[in-house]
Amino acid sequence: MGLPQPPPRFDVNLSILFTELPLLERPAAAAAAGFTAVELWWPWPDEPTPPAAQLDALRQALSDAGTQLVGLNFYAGQLPGPDRGALSLPGPESDRFRANADLVADFAASVGCTALNALYGNRVQGVDAEEQDALALHNLVHAARAADRAGAVLLIEALNAAESPAYPVTTSAAAVALVEKVNAASGLGNARFLMDLYHLAKGGEDLHAVIDTHAALTGHVQIADNPGRGAPGSGTLDFGDLLGRLGKAGYEGWVGLEYRPSGASADSFGWRDGLRPTG
C-alpha cells in the first residue's frame, strides 16, 4: 500500500452546484458549506460582454462571502445546452469570444483568478475542419495572451464523445497536443491541460495512465463520478485512489467539484468525510 497523500484542495463549481440559488447568493452558500474557493462557467451565456455592473456585483458577492475564484470559463455559448464552445466557430461567435477574452482577463486580474478555461467549439457542418482548427489556434493564442496579462494559465480540456459528439477534442492526448501547439504558437508557455476525470472516464480512458502521463502539464482537475455525473460515491470511480495518485504524481492544485447533486447542493458533500487519498 502507498503512503497517505495530503488531502486535496477542493473548490466548488457554482455553475453546476448551488444552482437552486441565484448566482450572487451562491458564493455565500459555498462558504457556509465550508469552501473557501469556487469556480464558474461563464455566468452569462447570452452576454459575452455584460455591463460592468454585473461584473461588479459578482466581484462583490465573492468578496463578501470570503471565497476565492480559482477558475473561470471564457464565453462558450449555452452551457449547459447544445453549445460546447465558441472559439473555433467562424463568424460572429469567434468575434464574441475574442471580445470576451479581453474582458475575462481584466475581471480575473481584479479578483486574483489564475486559471481560465477555453472550450474549443463543435464542428460546423459545411465548414472545413482545417479552417476551424486554424481559427481555433488563432483564438487560443489570443486567449493565452489575455490570460498572461491576468497572471493566469489557459486551460484546455477534453470532453467525452458520447455527450459531445460534434466536439473534436475528446481524448487526453488530443487536449495535451493542443496545449503544446498553443504554447509553441504563443511563445508564452502558459497553456495547461484541464484534467476532467468524469469526461475522461466516460470516454473510456485509463485514468491511472492519464494521471501518470499528464500530471506535470495539468493546470486544474475537475471531478464527478461515472456513470451519471453525480457526487463521488454515486458511481464506480475510486476517488481515494485517483486523488492519491494525483498527489503522488506531484499535482498540488485545486480539484473542482463539477457534479450534479441528487438533492440540495448543501447536502451533497458528505462523501468527503470518508475520503482517504492513497498513493
Residue 258 annotated in active site: yes
Q: What is the rounded distance in angstroms from the CA atom of residue 47 to the CA atom of residue 77?
A: 9
Contact 69, 113 (CB under 8 A): yes
Per-residue pLDDT of the chain (279 residues; tens, 9 = 90+): 344 556 689 999 999 999 999 999 999 999 999 999 999 999 999 999 999 999 999 999 999 999 999 999 999 998 777 788 999 999 999 999 999 999 999 999 999 999 999 999 999 999 999 999 999 999 999 999 999 999 999 999 999 999 999 999 999 999 999 999 999 999 999 999 999 999 999 999 999 999 999 999 999 999 999 999 999 999 999 999 999 999 999 999 999 999 999 999 999 999 998 887 776
Domains of the chain and CATH, by start: 9-274 (3.20.20.150)
Of the residues 39, 93, 205, 258, only one is catalytic, namely 258
Which residues in 185-216 are b (16+ Cβ under 10 Å) and which e? ebeeebbbbbbbbbbbbbbebebeebbeebbe
pLDDT at 4: 52
Read off the pTM: 0.96
> Which amino acid is it at 107?
F
265 DSSP 8-state letter: G
pLDDT at 221: 98
Helix locations, the chain, DSSP H? 26-32, 52-65, 92-111, 129-149, 172-186, 197-202, 207-214, 239-248
Of the residues 39, 93, 157, 205, only one is catalytic, namely 157
Residue 93 annotated in active site: no
Q: What is the rounded distance in angstroms from the CA atom of residue 198 to the CA atom of residue 258?
A: 9
